[in-house]
Amino acid sequence: MNWYEYQEVVAEVFRNIGAEVKTNYKASGARGEHDIDVWIKLDKYGIQMIWICECKYWEASIPKEKVLTLYEVIKDLGADRGFLFSESGFQSGAIRCSKNTNITLTSLDEIQELIQSDLQEYRLINFLKRIENLRKKLKISWIDDLGNPILNYANDIDKCLLIEGTLMYATLQIQKAINKDFPIYLTRYSMENIQCKDIEELNTVLNQELEILEPSVEEINIHTKEKVVESKDLVDLFAKSINGLLKSAENQLFDLNVNIDEQLIETLSFMKAVGKTADDLKKISTGTLASEVYKIMRLLLEFIYPHLTKIEMNRNEWNDSKNLIITQLNVLTKI
């Protein structure tokens, strides 16, 4: 075949794996426009890649200059990988130049096996992404913003720990598989542990495992979100009760026209509401939220409640105490 036919055969190899392929493609880079023999856009397992191919249908082996030229084009275009095709082999200098680069020297006979191996590896990388996403979702379900376990309202702390351990161990085993360190031993969440003798078997088992774990983590996540909504409602009620307490206490201390006995009863009712809501919040709040609720209760006990037993009160002193509570309350409601 001639060079054009050779280029089309190369393109067809990549079309057969579901890639978007263009031949004789002009691609623009930072340093100008480049003529690409075969341009490939591949979206597999959630990973998008751009590959470019240079096709040399020569009788002579390919020199290192062609490798260096392709390397510069790849850099300029920001491509993920480059392939230099030849049926006549490569000079030793070209082989040395391609080492430790993202350029593969290959032929039509070699490329099929090479691509399948690479796609299996990319699939493993996608599994790592899925696992990391699951671990992030799981973390907010049982670890608070201060890094402590949410023991008081995690859906099932043992379940969270077991899933986290399974995902962490799977990550380590995938790294081994990427390094071709087989066999791989997988600890599974709801089934017996298994040994995988090759990358294909590992991919199958991982997919089965994640299809089980993803709904489980989502269920835990939904429960956590329900608790977050509940805590926000309680924070709103807590703030409303404190504002009511401050207003009632101020009337008790400084409004000469109120019935003092009725005002005392109203103030006491707000104190009870604040105390009850604080107790409810303590049962479900964690991290910064729990810390801020504690701070406000301590400030109320230190700067507000003692004033309520006084017959006379300095207005400036009261305003300072009240503003201290309001400032802290603003911090709480913004969490």
- The pLDDT tens digits for 211-231 are 999 999 999 888 888 888 999
Structure-token match 């801020």, residue found: 292
Q: Which fold has domain 3-106?
A: Trna Endonuclease; Chain: A, domain 1 (3.40.1350)
Give the pLDDT confidence score for residue 152 in this predicted structure: 63
- The pLDDT tens digits for 17-55 are 889 999 999 999 999 999 999 999 998 767 789 999 999
- The pLDDT tens digits for 79-95 are 999 999 999 999 999 99
Give the pLDDT confidence score for residue 46 in this predicted structure: 72
Q: How far apart are CA 232 and CA 228, in angstroms?
A: 6
Q: Which residues, at least 6 apart from 42, have a Cβ–Cβ distance to it below 8 Å?
A: 14, 17, 18, 19, 20, 48, 49, 50, 51
- The pLDDT tens digits for 116-146 are 777 788 889 889 999 999 999 999 888 888 8
Give the pLDDT confidence score for residue 7 in this predicted structure: 96
Q: Tokens at residue 305, please?
A: 């409640």
pTM of the model: 0.66
Query: In this model, does residue 153 exceed pLDDT 80?
Result: no
Q: Which residues, at least 6 apart from 21, have a Cβ–Cβ distance to it below 8 Å?
A: 11, 14, 15, 38, 39, 40, 41
Q: Is 235 exposed, middle or buried (0-12, 13-18, 19+ CB in 10 A)?
A: buried
Give the pLDDT confidence score for residue 122 in this predicted structure: 81
- Residue 234's CB is within 10 A of a number of other CB atoms, namely 20
Closest CA to 112 of 90, 91, 89, 83: 83
